[in-house]
Structure 1
Amino acid sequence: MRWWKILGLAAFAGVAATGVVAVRAERRRRAYTPEEIRDRLRERTAEISSQGSQQGS
């Protein structure tokens, strides 16, 4: 019965760690200003379109 307790505690620790990672990612995402988000999207769009034109050649 003792190993079930250890397994349960390990599972609980894993779930808690996953939650911490998710919260950190959400905070990092929300820290961007709208201008920064627009700039990043424009950079990605330009990058993708340049890759598409290179592959099409």
Structure 2
Amino acid sequence: MQSRAWKWIGLGAIAAIAVGSAVAVERRRRQQRRWQEYDTDEIRSRLHERFAAIGSPPDDPAVP
């Protein structure tokens, strides 16, 4: 009787791992889709905006 209980516990654990893996893969796919939805020009313009917000570099040559 105890052997059957452990068998069901083991099967439940395997099922939980499989479901958890499937959820992780789906989240990764959704994240990848969001990343691929960005247009190259949109990314470039965002980077230019962020760089412009930082301002010009300091005139002191000792500061990298």
Q: State the aligned residue count.
A: 50
| Superposition TM-score, scaled by structure 1 size | 0.72
Instruction: Choose from 23, 28, 32 the match for 1:26.
Output: 32
The structure richer in helix per residue is 1
Please, which runs of 5 or more residues in structure 1 have no aligned partner?
none
Q: Which amino acid aligns with 1:21?
A: R
Check 1:46–1:15 CA distance in 2 against 1; reply closer, same or farther (3 A cut): farther
Q: Counterparts in 2 of 1:18-57, with a 5 A limit?
A: 18-46=24-52, 49=54
Please, which runs of 5 or more residues in structure 2 have no aligned partner?
1-6, 59-64
Bigger Cα Rg: 2
Q: Which runs of 4+ in 1 moved over 3 A?
A: 43-47
CA RMSD of aligned residues (A): 1.8
Check 1:29–1:4 CA distance in 2 against 1; reply closer, same or farther (3 A cut): same
Q: Work out the percentage of aligned pairs sharing the same amino acid.
A: 30
